[in-house]
Amino acid sequence: MNQPGNTPRTGGQASAGLRALVVDDEPPLVKLVSSYLEREGFQVASAADGERAVELAREFDPDVIVLDLMLPGIDGIEACRRIRSFSNAYIVMLTARVEEIDRIVGLSTGADDYITKPFSPGELMARVRAMLRRPRTTRDHASPVRHVGDLEIDPGAREVRRSGEPIELTKIEFDLLDVLSAEPRVVFAREQLLERVWGADWFGDDHVVDVHIANLRAKLGDDPRAPRYVRTIRGVGYRIGDRT
């Protein structure tokens, strides 16, 4: 059902029969976005929190997911990860703060695009169309396993192994390792790690980073005096990667 005037030429046709899932805790926004998507020919479902989002992603099996970063329950990043573990949908993340983009990109969330609030529905639609136009092959989550020495990091499965032996990490520990290992050899300041792992709106002491790094090291069997994985750059931050 193409609306004359409002709907750009390409849209209606291309998205006919596709399903979209909108996740946000603000009903008006959900409604607005949904109506735009419907006008494009999408069949739309919506959720207001993270748990429901993951559920619906599974049951409804959408082709496109518009996902807010800030959600009650499990947050957008975690929801995105979980959904990505079973779904192949295109995911657009909504963020209220520009700085959060770093987080989405830095952590391996699996999002395909992001857009900052406030945004115009037209822009969002343009992004969605652009994504759909992108060949699926762009989805190169194929072999994302990283190696650091005898360490094996699988961001998709959120698993770490040391010489084959699985190591159990907490969320924060894994995220730290994730961010650090995504760019080996690059030094991350504590502030950067806070921003990436904790989020831009964190207000607290840098010191938490040290503690979690210590715990991470302990689990990895890493000696701070002679670290094989996570090394300290005094006065600056931490780094992972090849031996010096």
Partner DNA sequence: GGGTGCCTTGACGAAATCTTGACCCCAGTC
Partner DNA sequence: GACTGGGGTCAAGATTTCGTCAAGGCACCC
| Interface residues toward DNA, by CB under 7 A | 1-3, 73, 168, 170-173, 198, 204-205, 207-208, 210-215, 217-218, 224, 232-237
Closer to DNA by Cβ: residue 92 or 151: 151
The 3-state secondary structure of 9-37 reads: HHHHHHHCCCEEEEECCCHHHHHHHHHHH
The helix-helix angle for 207-220 and 171-182 (nearest 10°) equals: 90
Strand arrangement of the beta sheet that strand 64-68 belongs to: 43-47, 19-23, 64-68, 90-95, 113-116
Contact 232, 242 (CB under 8 A): no
107 binds, among a copy of itself, DNA, none (CB under 5 to 8 A by kind): none
213 binds, among a copy of itself, DNA, none (CB under 5 to 8 A by kind): DNA
Of 34, 39, 32, nearest in space to 22 by CA: 34
Q: Give dist(CA 102, CA 179) in Å, integer.
A: 11
Closer to a copy of itself by Cβ: residue 32 or 126: 126
Min CB(199)–a copy of itself separation in Å: 13
Q: Select from 45-53, 59-67, 151-159, 208-216 the region that touches a copy of itself (CB under 8 A).
A: 151-159
39 binds, among a copy of itself, DNA, none (CB under 5 to 8 A by kind): none
Q: Residue 32, interface with a copy of itself (CB under 8 A)?
A: no
H helices of the chain, in order, are 9-15, 27-39, 50-60, 76-86, 100-106, 121-133, 171-182, 190-193, 207-220
14 binds, among a copy of itself, DNA, none (CB under 5 to 8 A by kind): a copy of itself
Min CB(94)–a copy of itself separation in Å: 13
Q: Residue 78, interface with a copy of itself (CB under 8 A)?
A: no
Closer to a copy of itself by Cβ: residue 82 or 103: 103
